[in-house]
Structure 1
């Protein structure tokens, strides 16, 4: 019986150490993975799926919540599905509209766009 208790305690300790060792990278490390000209798929492959998306048709902003508690916002702006800018902030609708350029008409919803 004593061996069973010791094995259970050992298994619990190993399980907890696995949780502690899997650390979340610093926001600056994650942000440095995104460079100008990258495709949307490359950004998703390096950083992961965005927490929020604004825009449409490759003229979008991907917003990420980084940090241990998701308290560090990070925005990646795309034009024609390529990174044109990134910043440590939430998606700014006016920047998203500006990166879309002419030919995009924004609807009343912040999330929808249609081509002229």
Structure 2
């Protein structure tokens, strides 16, 4: 009986501790992204983006940070390296400017939503 009680107690403690893992503060997450990081480095630090705008390595990864996803964060890439970050939603005009004149966007500009 004692072994069953202790096994149940240990399982409950482990379950509660797994559920209460804190969400990192948005400022901590934002400061961990630096210029020159690759897209893979960013995804390893923050995870997959909630939305992607652009193509061919000139993209913007958009994240919803914070406990309730109420802090927008955008990471702009130029040739698959971080060019800029901002505490706002992705702006397609900035993505187009980063791409330069060599890349032409059409009316088929796309946004991919993570489900």
Same fold (TM over 0.5): yes
Q: Does 1:67 align with 2:66?
A: yes
Q: Counterpart in 2 of 1:89?
A: 88
Gapped regions of structure 2 (runs ≥ 5): none
Gapped regions of structure 1 (runs ≥ 5): none
Q: Does 1:25 align with 2:24?
A: yes
**Range with greater deviation from structure 2 (8-17 or 43-52):** 8-17
Q: Secondary structure at the match of 2:107?
A: coil
Q: Secondary structure at the match of 1:61?
A: strand
What TM-score results when the alignment is normalised by the length of structure 1? Answer: 0.82
Structural mapping, 1:37-116, within 5 Å: 37-111=36-110
Q: Secondary structure at the match of 1:106?
A: coil
What TM-score results when the alignment is normalised by the length of structure 2? Answer: 0.83
1:28 to partner: Cα distance: 0.6
CA RMSD of aligned residues (A): 2.0
